[in-house]
Structure formats: structure tokens, C-alpha cells
Amino acid sequence: MMRLKDIATALRAELVGDGELIVHAINHPAAAGPDDLALAMEAEALGALAESPARAAILPASSIVPSRLAGALHVEHPRYALATLTRLFAERPRLPAGIHPTAVIDPTAEIALPTAIGPFVQVGARAYIGPGATILGQVTVGAEARIGADALIYPGVRIGDRVRIGARVILHNNASLGADGFSFAIPEPGGRPPAGEPPISRIASLGTVVLGDDVEVGANSCIDRGTIEATTIGNGTKIDNLVMIGHNNKIGRSCLIAGRVGISGSCRIGDRVILAGGAGVADHVVIGDDPVILAAAQVGSSRIAPGAVVLGMPAVAKEKFFEQVRLQNRLKHLFADVAALKARLQPAGTEADGD
């Protein structure tokens, strides 16, 4: 429940009308009640506003305020406004302060105050949990792991031994940090292992995982530990659900890694890289700053230009990808044209070439 003028301040938005108006929730105009703030920043929602009982709305800059509204806010950047607004109304999952009596905390672990540790949480020897962290139920924190201040860790997250996590990190349900890397010595394809060696010889993972500040890891995602050094994720990088980040990767700051992406191993990925859903990066690939790897693209080499937008398998510049699609769509005609040309140049009575 907030006053319209306080929302205006938080959003740095222009207030029109009654700033004392109290709104209880935010909602699409079609779903909003009279006490809701209607979100009408996009054309479709703006249209729905005419039928809405809402008495307050958020509108694009310089749009006309319907006279039926008691108050309105004008915003310049709808997505950023939505970000601020949703955070104003969001509720952090409720967990009472303190350590739940069912939690199993090693006596050598250090838990800074304030803390909120839920049921069935397990914290290993010499682990450290920073002040203000919230650890919901059924989380595992390994020996000597470190969790930064104000982290929010959802149920079922597994944090391996020695994993280090920055401040304000959010880890979603059942994410895995610090499983062993998928690393084996095997013979060359078709060859045999050296004498005395098994066909598949396991390379153990002595390294760890290090997450910077403000990193977010989605549900059921996995970040494996490095072989000798750490797998690292830079400050502010956000990772969606079901993402696989293999061992030894070094990923930069403020990247966005969408659902089902896979980054094989030993890659170096720059800052502000965007990887869309299902994209894949082969091992040992180096990617610079600012490219956008579009959905399902497969990056097999280190030749992505900084800031490039790529697509396809193998990934190429987006324009080239769609040019190829257009050419392929005309292939049938090209075959027909060539057949016609051949027929025309074919001396009468000779046999056609097979193709």
C-alpha cells in the first residue's frame, strides 16, 4: 500500500492529480480494481484503461491523462519504471529471524547477524554466512563456503565446499553451485588409452566456484567448480533457469544468460554479453564484450566480433543468417533456372546429365 506521490518519487516520474491517493497493488488495467495502480505504459494496456475501474495509472510520457483518473504518473522508460515499481511492491519470502531449530549448523561455521535460516538447512564446517542473508529451507552450504551479505537463497540450493558467493546474490530453487566439472582423460576417437590406464580416467575438480556481487542464478541451473582454479561469474551477471555453466569458465560482469544456455568449459566471456534461450558455447571459446548471442545459436569459435548479434549453427551475424534463409527459400527456383539453362544449351538428341 503506497501513496501515489511516494511512487512518483521512487520512479522519478511526473505526477498528475492527487498524490495522496493510496494504491494497494499494481495491475494490468483489465484486471485492476478501484484501489489498484493500472499499468498502462504500452499501447494495448493504454487501450484497456478506458474500461478499467482503476483511479490511478502509470502512462507513457506526454500521453493524455483520462479525466476519469484521480491521479497518474508519466514515465520516460517503461521497463525501468516497471523494475522500480515491481520492487516497491514485491514481498521478500517471509522467514523469521534466527536459525530454525531443525537446521544443522556445524559449530565451527560463522553466521553473522541478522540472519534468517530456515528448516532443514545444513551448514558445513568453517562456512561463513554474511549479515542479512536469508536462507530458506532445505539448503546445503558446504564446508568453508562463504555467502555474502544480504544474499537470498531459495529452497533446495546446493552450495559445495569452498564455493564463494558475493553480496546480494539471489539463488533460486534447486540450483547447484560447485558440482564437479565434467572432465576426463580419454583416448583419441578410435584409439586406445595408454598402457595401464582405464578408457575413461576421471579428472577431479580441485577448484571452486566464485560468484560476484548481485549475481542471480535461476532454478535448477548448474555452475561447476574448476579443475584447479575457480569458475567465476562477474558482478551483476544474471543467469536464468536450467543453465549449464561448465568448469573453468570465466564469465564477465552484467551478462544476461537466458534459460537452457550451455557454456561448455574453459571459456572466457566478456562483460554485458547476452546469451538468449538455448544458446550454446563450445569449450575454450573466447567471447569479448557486448555481443548478443540469439536463441539456440551455437558458438563454436572465438571469432564473434565485440557487439555482434549472431544467430544460427554455426553462429553468424544475424543479417547473414537471414540472408541465407532467404536464399535457401529461393533454392527451388534456382534449381529450376539452371535446369532450364541446361536444357536450352543441350544440343537436341543428347542425353541429360544425371545429378
Please report whether residue 206 would count as binding a copy of itself according to CB under 8 A: yes
Say which of 28, 100, 172, 247 is annotated catalytic.
247
Member of 2, 15, 132, 182 binding a copy of itself (CB under 8 A): 182
Nearest-CA neighbor of 18 among 65, 52, 53, 63? Answer: 65
In SS3 terms, 6-31 reads as: HHHHHHCCEEEECCCCEECEEECCCC
Collapse the DSSP code of 269 into the 3-class scheme (helix H, G, I; strand E, B; otherwise coil) and give the result. Answer: strand
Site residues for a copy of itself, 242-301, by CB under 8 A, read 242, 244, 246, 254, 256, 258-260, 262, 264, 272, 274, 277-278, 280, 282, 290, 292, 295-296, 298, 300
Nearer to a copy of itself, 150 or 229 (CB): 229
Looking from the CA of 137 toward its CB, the CA atoms found within 13 Å total 9
Nearer to a copy of itself, 131 or 187 (CB): 187
Q: What is the DSSP string of 271-338?
A: SS-EE-TT-EE-TT-EE-SS-EE-TT-EE-SS-PPTT-EEETTTTEEHHHHHHHHHHHHTHHHHHHHH
Selected range binding a copy of itself among 48-56, 57-65, 107-115, 201-209, rule: CB under 8 A: 201-209
CA dist 301 → 269, 298, 308 (Å): 12, 9, 14
d(CA 324, CA 46): 39
Nearer to a copy of itself, 1 or 331 (CB): 331
Please report whether residue 128 would count as binding a copy of itself according to CB under 8 A: no
Q: Under a CB-based contact definition with an 8 Å cutoff, are residues 88 and 80 in contact?
A: no
State in angstroms the smallest separation of the CB of 118 from a copy of itself. 7
Question: Total residues at the site for a copy of itself (CB under 8 A)?
Answer: 128
Q: Is 307 left (phi over 0), alpha (psi -120 to 50) or beta?
A: left
Angle at 246 between CA 243 and CA 252, to 5 degrees: 80
Selected range binding a copy of itself among 13-21, 50-58, 62-70, 114-122, rule: CB under 8 A: 114-122
Selected range binding a copy of itself among 16-24, 61-69, 107-115, 188-196, rule: CB under 8 A: 188-196
Angle at 194 between CA 190 and CA 195, to 5 degrees: 125
Member of 66, 229, 286, 288 binding a copy of itself (CB under 8 A): 229
Please report whether residue 192 would count as binding a copy of itself according to CB under 8 A: no
Nearer to a copy of itself, 18 or 302 (CB): 302
Find the helix or strand (DSSP H, E) in which 84 lies: helix 78-89
State in angstroms the smallest separation of the CB of 340 from a copy of itself. 8
Site residues for a copy of itself, 208-227, by CB under 8 A, read 216, 218-222, 224, 227
Our answer to whether residue 24 is catalytic in this structure is no
d(CA 274, CA 74): 30
Member of 47, 53, 114, 199 binding a copy of itself (CB under 8 A): 199
Nearer to a copy of itself, 20 or 338 (CB): 338
Member of 63, 84, 115, 302 binding a copy of itself (CB under 8 A): 84
User: What is the number of H-type helices and E-type strands within the chain?
Assistant: 5, 40
Member of 50, 61, 97, 338 binding a copy of itself (CB under 8 A): 338
Nearer to a copy of itself, 147 or 309 (CB): 309
In SS3 terms, 161-229 reads as: CCCEECCCCEECCCCEEEECCCCEECCCCCCCCCCCCCCCEECCCCCCEEECCCCEECCCCEEECCCCC
**One symbol per residue from 136 to 175: x for binding a copy of itself (CB under 8 A), - otherwise; what is it?**
xxx-x-xx----------xxx-x-xx--------x-xxx-
Please report whether residue 319 would count as binding a copy of itself according to CB under 8 A: no
The catalytic residues are 247
